[in-house]
């Protein structure tokens, strides 16, 4: 990408602001960076060399080209989904607001309305599907014991993938039955962990994790400093989100579950099943780490949909 230096510097200032002052996670800040560098490359191709020179017409034309799939920053014929376009435009609006506030630049995106997306209900697993997924890992190998502990913990606590991968030694209080995690905005919260999950984690810590660390020690050129994260990959390295996703997909396939099952599906299922069994919405909000109760209320729509299907299936005059 041929990006004008002034634009790149102004984007970097904003990214530093999101990390330091707004407490965004590395993943969120990186997503902003990708979206804005793509925007800057397009601006460069239009002859725009600094953010001060961006006009409302530039912003509107870029938005139109994103929606129309005319703009191909990396691969020709790239088509963005409506949620992807909405995210990219939200990044642009945030950047221009920042420049207007910090540098008193004109805000060319001020009159661009946020995209209204149809609300998609999260997909959740039924209890039989959850049981099948949790039964998939075999206990005859260190990786199988680890996978069992991870799946049980995801369903028991509703952790995000990044939160699980970042868990450090001592984060799980086996006796009290809580896991302490750091979520979005570096906010810490405590979440109950069920007895079955604790037993699976205890088994992993005693039997599986030491063996995975042995794999790390046996690997030539490995960093001798032992990782402090709880969950490790097959070679003793800290587990990444990509590895976690692949692991969940492996067991979902083995359990003959749909191809939309991901680590986040277990978070959705955790919240929905709690609500179905009478848990308070505010308590679910706290466990999920949602700032706004409106975010948690999506699960009431899932529950309503579940009740409607049950009614239509069972009532003779439905």
Please name the helix (run of DSSP H) or strand (run of DSSP E) that holds residue 188, with its range, or none: strand 188-192
Task: Yes or no: say if 193 and 177 are a contact pair by the CB < 8 Å rule.
Answer: yes
* The dihedral sign for the CA sequence 148, 235, 166, 243: negative
Query: C-alpha angle 141/146/152, rounded to 5°?
Result: 130
Phi and psi, residue 303, nearest 5°: -65, -40
Other Cβ atoms closer than 10 A to 11: 23
Chain centroid to CA 10: how far? 27
Residue 160, token pair as written in the block? 């995000």
Closest CA to 296 of 306, 277, 283: 283
Burial (CB count <10 Å: 0-12, 13-18, 19+), residue 189 = middle
Task: Yes or no: say if 134 and 273 are a contact pair by the CB < 8 Å rule.
Answer: no
Instruction: Give the active site residues.
Output: 160, 184, 264, 267, 290, 299
Residue for token digits 């975010």? 295
Give Cα separations from 251 to 13, 39, 58, 153, 215 (angstroms): 42, 39, 47, 15, 23
Q: How many helices (H) and strands (E) does the chain have?
A: 14, 3
Which residues lie below 8 Å from residue 42, measured CB to CB, with a gap of 6+? 62, 65, 71, 73
Cα–Cα distance measured from residue 208 to residue 215, given in angstroms and rounded to the nearest whole number: 11
């Amino acid at each position: 990408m041929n990006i004008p230096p002034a634009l790149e510097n102004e984007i970097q200032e904003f990214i530093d602001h999101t990390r330091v002052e707004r407490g965004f996670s590395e993943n969120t800040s990186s997503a902003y960076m990708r979206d804005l560098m793509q925007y800057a490359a397009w601006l460069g191709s239009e002859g725009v060399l600094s953010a001060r020179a961006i006009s409302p017409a530039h912003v509107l034309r870029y938005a139109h080209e994103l929606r129309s799939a005319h703009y191909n920053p990396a691969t020709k014929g790239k088509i963005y989904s409506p949620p992807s376009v909405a995210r990219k435009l939200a990044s642009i609006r945030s950047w221009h607001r920042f420049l207007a506030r910090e540098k008193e630049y004109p805000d060319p995106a001020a009159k661009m309305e946020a995209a209204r997306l149809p609300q998609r209900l999260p997909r959740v697993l039924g209890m039989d599907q959850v049981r099948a997924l949790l039964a998939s890992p075999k206990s005859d190998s260190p990786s199988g014991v680890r996978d069992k502990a991870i799946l049980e913990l995801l369903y028991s606590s509703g952790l995000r993938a990044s939160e699980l991968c970042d868990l450090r030694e001592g984060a799980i209080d086996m006796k009290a039955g809580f896991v302490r995690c750091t979520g979005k905005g570096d906010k810490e919260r405590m979440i109950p962990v069920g007895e079955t999950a604790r037993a699976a984690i205890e088994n992993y810590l005693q039997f599986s994790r030491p063996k995975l660390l042995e794999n790390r020690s046996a690997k030539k050129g490995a960093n001798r400093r032992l990782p402090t994260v709880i969950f490790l990959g097959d070679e003793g390295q800290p587990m990444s989100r990509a590895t976690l996703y692949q692991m969940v997909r492996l067991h979902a396939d083995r359990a003959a579950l749909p191809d939309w099952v991901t680590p986040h599906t277990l978070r959705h299922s955790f919240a929905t099943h709690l609500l179905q069994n009478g848990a308070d919405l505010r308590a679910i909000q706290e466990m999920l780490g949602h700032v706004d109760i409106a975010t948690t209320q999506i699960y009431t729509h899932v529950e309503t949909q579940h009740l409607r299907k049950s009614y239509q299936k069972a009532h003779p005059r439905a």
